[in-house]
Amino acid sequence: MSKYIAAITAVGQAIIKNKEYLTELDREIGDADHGINMSKGFEAVINKISSLDEDKDIGFVLKTVAMTLISSVGGASGPLYGTAFLKAAVPAAGKIEIDAITAQAMWQTAITGIKERGKASRGEKTMLDSLEPAFEAFSEGVKTDKTLFECLELASAAAQKGVEYTKTIAASKGRASYLGERSIGHQDPGATSSSIMIAALLEFCRTQMTGGV
């Protein structure tokens, strides 16, 4: 198994592990299906990418992830996360290694894709409220010549702060928007799943650095 397939598998396993937690968060302000849908999607992803040849480039792997999520995840999460992976695949096309600059480009295109697909902006209590601050922190790390791992550390911390921020604002997108001001005090499930994925990627990289993988 290539390290990039292993990395995505680790991300998927983190989502699956947090299935009940994400579902409970969504029960408060949504349809109580975010954890269920995301877990189902990443179970399909792990099954799909485990059969890919190791010589497949990163762009191909990400496209496979994208199409699997789009076809297997219900609600808004499938199209949004699927679009993110599909857009991220473009800067990664033909590559078998990723440096911080490439990762930055992948993240930027993923966020752009989410915004275009979801017609959403930061501050509306969505996944963007963790993804955008995380991207900004990552980019600041790139600017100051930090390693990819160090950039991910900054990104993960910023994503967690973004999740906390969603508790302070009212939702204006999706099912949660029906609650209006009553959604204040609850953290956004999408922002949370995004933060979990970033944290899982960071932990995977840490494990590799210490020789655990």
CA–CA distance, 89 with 32 (Å, rounded to integer): 30
Q: What is the mean pLDDT of residues 198-207?
A: 95
Question: What are the pLDDT digits (tens) for 6-39?
Answer: 999 999 999 999 999 999 999 988 888 999 999 9
| CATH for 3-209 (1.20.1430.10, 1.25.40.340, 3.10.20.30, 3.50.50.60) | 1.25.40.340
Give the pLDDT score at 213.
43
CB 47 within 8 A of CB 71: no
Local confidence band at 183 (pLDDT 50, 70, 90 cut-offs): confident
What percentage of the chain reaches a pLDDT higher than 70? 94
Q: Which of 7-16, 83-92, 115-124, 202-211 has the lowest mean pLDDT?
A: 202-211
pLDDT at 178 (0 to 100): 59
Q: Which of 29-33, 40-44, 108-112, 186-190 has the lowest mean pLDDT?
A: 29-33
pLDDT higher than threshold 90 for residue 174: no
Cα–Cα distance, 161 to 57 (Å, whole number):
33
**75, amino acid identity:** G
The burial class, CB within 10 Å (0-12 / 13-18 / 19+), for 144 is exposed
Share of the chain above pLDDT 90, in %: 80
Q: What is the pLDDT of residue 92?
A: 96
| pLDDT digit string, tens, across residues 42-60 | 999 999 999 998 889 999 9
Could you tell me how many residues make up the chain? 213
Q: Find the helix packing angle between 58-72 and 34-49, rounded to 10°.
A: 140
